[in-house]
Amino acid sequence: MGIRIGVLALQGAFSEHIDAFKLALQVLDPPGHSSVIPVRHADEIPDLHGLAIPGGESTTISRLIDKNQMRRPIEEFEGGIFATCAGMVLMATEVDDSRIRTLGLIEMNVERNAFGRQRESFETDLVINGFDTPYHAIFIRAPVVTSCGPRVEIISKIEKGIVAVRKDRHYAIAFHPELSTDPRIHIRFIQGLGV
Ligand code: GLN
């Protein structure tokens, strides 16, 4: 059966996610029965196996999720969610910005823009649990997880805080795996969807 991935396309870096998922699916499903679509309507969500929430502005994406009546379909989504950067902020139960209504799908506290102005953007080689070589990660005005619940798996941590977590089929990642050419994180997410 083909794997159906959707990328929330309300604001932010969604086209890069579409390309990155296509690349990962070429590796996992060479016959090409799988699909990756931009998601702009709430009724597109329940049919998917996986949904990406991209980077962008978490304040804006939070507002647009409500405006497009997507909050319930996302909260009730039975597949896996792949949330990066602003997406990580939205997955949290708590965030240090009252303008954002989070989805609360991963029990964690998140600090927005945790690296401040001086290190707005940087690249670093990260140790990621389960990968035998480092992963070259691109951080852009990234959040960090300051604490998380006992059922949340910490996948990667740096001095400043936790930068990647998994909860069941959901992943939240502070950096931008869609901007690197390394498909390992996307592949791991897709393999965990149980399709
Ligand atoms: N700092 C942004 C926010 O919290 C996220 C930045 C990004 O997604 N690249 O909305």
For the CA of 60, the closest atom of ligand 1 is 10
Active site residue 178: yes
Residue linked to tokens 């965990």: 192
pLDDT digits (tens, 9 = 90+) for 35-91: 999 999 999 999 999 999 999 999 999 999 999 999 999 999 999 999 999 999 999
pLDDT digits (tens, 9 = 90+) for 111-121: 999 998 767 89
pLDDT bin (cut points 50, 70, 90) of residue 30 is confident
Whether residue 87 has its Cβ less than 6 Å from ligand 1: no
For the CA of 55, the closest atom of ligand 1 is 8
Active site residue 41: no
Q: Which of 91, 106, 22, 90 is nearest to 57 (CA)?
A: 90
> Is this model's pTM higher than 0.85 or not?
yes
Residue 14's H or E segment, with its range, is helix 14-28
44, 85, 111, 148: which is the annotated catalytic residue?
A: 85
**Which structural domains are found in the chain, ordered by start?**
4-191 (3.40.50.880)
Active site residue 176: yes
Whether residue 146 has its Cβ less than 6 Å from ligand 1: no
pLDDT bin (cut points 50, 70, 90) of residue 32 is confident
Helices and strands, counts by H and E, the chain? 5, 12
Q: What is the dihedral of CA 136, 176, 81, 113, to 10 degrees?
A: 120
